[in-house]
């Protein structure tokens, strides 16, 4: 890996599409408007909360890497961001979360009902915007993605407080709940650029693998980050009884005493033993293993776009796959 890729930052891979991102932000502001004041208030709050906006960045980078000429990628990037934001609003209600991106969650500030309903508004606005693009394949990709994401949410709900979830079960949730929207974003960028099926598939593999890498590092940061950097409460996954990969690894490779402690904590959503769990996860190599799996996913992402012509946009995609695993937030 080159020094340039090793030093990738959230800003460096966005630099080549800075103007496009400005155009996407304009679309987002325009499309957020509603005659219902509470919709405007909640939507503005969650969109303005920040975040890396990796998913819309994917649409833009892939489209530019295929030399797209037009403006539909701006609308589709906004569509992807709206869908992602809707899932965040719903997720925080389901998870009873109080902190996201270092700020109060919308449900903590406005209540669960407002968060769910404004999430529904964002979903429906996204589909309104898709219609204006006038491409049935675009609608198929996004419709399929939203359906798979919903299934992933339900799968995760079924896995909550279940200490018998294995690695394959968990990776299925990641592919559905997180990686699917990354995949769809990348596919859209290739599709509107006129890429052939092989190119669309390669873009999808890039997005799917990138999304997997991001989620696995999020799992690591839940046990090794701090709230100020990662923007949420450390230990939230344990409190919610989520059997993420570090816990699953510890269940499979820890001592009998450690396995029993993990089982109890997952079943009861017990974060009181967080320090003990963290010590066990660290000593067992669970965090190292999870990082290694994230690195494998990152390499799959980079390999998927090997055939793209060299360009600053391809370089940014490679930087992004490196950043996915070399980050602390």
pLDDT at 11: 61
DSSP letter string, 250-302: HHHHS-HHHHHHHHHHHHHT--TTHHHHHHHHHHHTHHHHHHHHHHHHHHHHH
Asked whether residue 286 is domain-assigned, the answer is yes
pLDDT exceeds 80 at position 174: yes
The residue ranges of DSSP E strands in the chain, in sequence order, are 99-100, 103-104
Other beta carbons within 10 Å of 147: 12
pLDDT exceeds 80 at position 200: yes
Asked whether residue 127 is domain-assigned, the answer is yes
Structural domain harbouring 273? 3-323
CATH of the domain at 48: 1.10.600.10
Asked whether residue 280 is domain-assigned, the answer is yes
Which tokens in the block code for residue 234?
């450390």
Domain count, the chain: 1
Asked whether residue 193 is domain-assigned, the answer is yes
pLDDT exceeds 50 at position 293: yes
Asked whether residue 209 is domain-assigned, the answer is yes
Asked whether residue 328 is domain-assigned, the answer is no
Give how far Cα 32 sits from Cα of 20, 126, 166, 181, 249, Å: 18, 10, 40, 20, 42
pLDDT at 92: 81
pLDDT at 4: 35
Confidence of residue 3 (pLDDT cuts 50, 70, 90): very low
Asked whether residue 220 is domain-assigned, the answer is yes
Asked whether residue 205 is domain-assigned, the answer is yes
pTM as predicted? 0.90
């Amino acid at each position: 890996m080159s020094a340039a890729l090793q030093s990738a930052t959230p800003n460096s891979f966005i630099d080549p599409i800075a103007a496009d991102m400005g155009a996407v932000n304009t679309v987002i502001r325009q499309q957020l408007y509603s005659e219902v004041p509470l919709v405007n208030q909640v939507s503005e709050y969650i969109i303005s909360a920040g975040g890396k906006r990796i998913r819309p960045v994917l649409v833009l980078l892939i489209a530019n890497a295929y030399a797209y000429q037009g403006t539909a990628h701006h609308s589709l990037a906004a569509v992807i961001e709206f869908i992602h934001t809707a899932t965040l609003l719903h997720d925080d209600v389901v998870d009873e979360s109080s902190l996201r991106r270092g700020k109060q969650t919308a449900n903590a500030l406005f209540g669960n009902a407002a968060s769910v309903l404004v999430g529904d508004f964002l979903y429906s606005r996204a589909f309104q915007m898709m219609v204006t693009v006038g491409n049935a394949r675009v609608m198929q990709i996004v419709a399929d993605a939203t359906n798979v994401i919903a299934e992933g949410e339900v799968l995760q709900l079924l896995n909550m407080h279940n200490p018998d979830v294995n690695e394959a079960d968990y990776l299925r949730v990641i592919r559905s709940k997180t990686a699917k929207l990354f995949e769809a974003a990348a596919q859209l960028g290739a599709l509107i650029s006129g890429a052939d099926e092989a190119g669309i598939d390669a873009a999808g593999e890039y997005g799917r693998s990138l999304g997997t890498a991001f989620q696995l590092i999020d799992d690591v940061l839940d046990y090794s980050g701090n709230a100020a950097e990662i923007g949420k409460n450390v230990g939230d996954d344990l409190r919610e009884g989520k059997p993420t990969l570090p816990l699953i690894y510890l269940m499979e490779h820890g001592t009998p005493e450690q396995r029993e402690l993990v089982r109890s904590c997952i079943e009861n959503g017990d974060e009181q033993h967080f320090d003990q769990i963290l010590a066990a996860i660290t000593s067992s190599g669970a965090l190292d293993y999870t990082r290694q799996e994230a690195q494998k996913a990152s390499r799959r992402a980079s390999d998927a776009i090997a055939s793209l012509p060299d360009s600053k946009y391809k370089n940014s995609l490679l930087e992004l796959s490196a950043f996915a695993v070399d980050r602390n937030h």
